[in-house]
Amino acid sequence: MAALPTAVQISADILSRRQRADDIARLKSMMELHALEYVDVSAHMELLQAFERWPLLAYLEAQYQLPVDLQKHKEPSP
């Protein structure tokens, strides 16, 4: 089927879109800083604010989980 290569292209394109969206990952790969541990402070701030904004989420957090160390954040593997 003629559509196959284009479909594969689409898929590759989409994967590259996801990679391009991640600025820290791109910084690491382009500057060869593979060992760099980056702390996404703005995301952590937002996370803390989220628990402040929505009491139910904070309540469930306390119920089900031990508080997780905020400093450590691993990016999800693709």
Partner 1 sequence: MISRWFPYTRLRREQNCTRFTAFTMALIQALGWVFLRLESPNWKALRAQQWRLYPHLANKRSTIGDPLRYIVQTLWLLVVRTPNLDQIGRKRTRRRVGAYVSAVLNIVQRPWNLLSNSFEHLPAALSPQVSKGSHWWSTMRWPTRKVLYIALGTLAVALIVLCITEPFGYLAQLVFVILLWVLAMLVRRMPGRFPTLLLIVLSIIVSCRYLWWRYTSTLNWNDNLDLVCGLILLIAETYSWLILLLGYVQTSWPLNRQPAQLPPDTDEWPVVDLLIPTYNEELSVTRGTVYAALGLDWPKDKLRIHLLDDGNRPSFKTFAEEVGINYIARTDNRHAKAGNLNHALTLIDGDLVAIFDCDHMPARSFLQLTVGWFLRDPSLALVQTPHHFLSPDPFERNLGTFRNRPNEGELFYGLIQDGNDMWNAAFFCGSCAIVRRTAIDSIGGFAVETVTEDAHTALRLHRNGWTSAYLRIPQAAGLATESLSAHIGQRIRWARGMVQIFRTDNPLLGKGLTIFQRICYTNAMMHFLVGLPRLVFLTAPLAFLLLHAYIIYAPAVMILLYVLPHMIHASLTNSRMQGAYRQTFWGEVYETVLAWYIARPTTVALFSPSRGKFNVTAKGGMMEENQFDWQTAKPYLVLSLLNVLGLGFAVWRLFTGPKDEIFTVLVSVLWVVYNLLIIGAAVAVAAEVRQVRHTHRVLTRLPGAIRLADGHSYPCELVDYSDGGVGLQLSQPQQLPVGTPVSLILQRGNREFVFTGMLTRSHDLFMGLSFAQLPPEQKIAFVQCTFGRADAWLDHNSGFEADKPIQSLKEILALGVKGYYRLYEYMPAWLRLMARPFLRVFQWLGSFLPRMPKAPTPLSSGQ
Partner 2 sequence: MIAMSLRGVRGGVGTSSTLAALGYALHELGQKVLLVDMCPENSLGLHFNLNLAPREGWARATLDQQPWHEHAWSVEPGLCVLPYGQVQPAEYTRLDALLLEQPQLWSQRQAALADAFDWVLFDLPQRLPGHAANPHCDIAVMVLNADAACHVLLQPLLAKKPLFLVNRFDAASQLQRDLVLIWQHRYTQSLVPLSLHADEAMGEALARSEPAGRYAPGSLIAHDIISLASWCLLRGRRPA
CA distance 43 to 39: 9
Q: Which long-range contacts (CB under 8 A, 24 or more apart) does 53-60 make?
A: none
Interacting partner of 64 out of partner 2, partner 1, none (Cβ under 5 to 8 A depending on kind): partner 2
76 lines the binding site for partner 1 (CB under 8 A): yes
Residue number with CB closer to partner 2 (34 or 74): 74
Pattern 19-58, partner 1, x by CB under 8 A: -xxxxxxxx--xx-x-xxxxxxxxx-xx------------
Query: Smallest gap, in angstroms, from Cβ of residue 68 to partner 2?
Result: 7
- Alpha-helix runs per DSSP H in 22-71: 23-30, 41-53, 55-64
- How far is residue 34 CA from its own chain's centroid? 17
* Residue 23 interacts with which of partner 1, partner 2, none, CB < 5 to 8 Å by class: partner 1
